[in-house]
A = this chain, B = another copy of it.
Amino acid sequence: MKTMETYAVSFGNVTRHVPVHEPMPGVHIPLVSFLGDVELTRVFAEQLAKHVPAETQMLVTVETSPIPLAHVIASMVGLPYLVVRKHRRSYMERPLIQEVESFMLGKKDVLWLDSRVAEKMLNQKLTLITDVVVSGGTMAAMERLVRRAGGEIVGRLAAFRQGEPETDVFALAELPVL
């Protein structure tokens, strides 16, 4: 359907008419982004903050699009957060590397965790934060990274679930596959 160029996503008092992407013929997915959207980020962060388990000592997110959400949730609950990277940086030392299959990119994604960030996870209770969970592959790879770094996952939170993720994640809202 060539006419389906935007899709209305509503949450609380906020509505966004987001672009629709066609990753493969006949499959259309709404593209919600917290990047650049202070108001949308705030309303989701306020609700997600209530679901951060009390024993959480740190939040963990992954670049790039969930970063504003994790930042605002962290400021609300008064916890630090760590960012798993999707690209190698020249300053990384002995990074942990974890492969992931990403639905959005249609190729093997690789997660990178600088050893100086990984050290902060040791013996910590961490809650994962992301924006959209589709297959759950990225979240599962983040979880493996955290465990390899000696941390323990106590929560898995997403703003949106899209489809049927294979991972046990709490999502505030559903995004359809059109």
A: residues with CB less than 8 A from B are 19, 21, 23, 31, 35-38, 41-42, 63-64, 67-68, 71-72, 74-75, 80-83, 85-87, 89-91, 104-106, 116
Contacts and interface: CB of A to CB of B under 8 A. Distances in A.
Given A35-B83, A71-B72, 11 more contacts: A23-B90, A23-B91, A38-B74, A41-B71, A63-B64, A64-B85, A67-B67, A86-B87, A87-B87, A89-B104, A89-B105
A91 B35 contact: no
Contacts of A85: 64
- Within the oligomer, what is the number of copies of this chain? 2
A23 B91 CA distance: 7
26 contacts: A19-B91, A21-B90, A23-B90, A35-B67, A35-B83, A36-B74, A36-B80, A36-B81, A36-B82, A37-B80, A38-B71, A38-B74, A38-B75, A38-B81, A41-B71, A42-B75, A63-B63, A63-B64, A64-B85, A67-B67, A68-B71, A89-B104, A89-B105, A90-B104, A90-B105, A90-B106
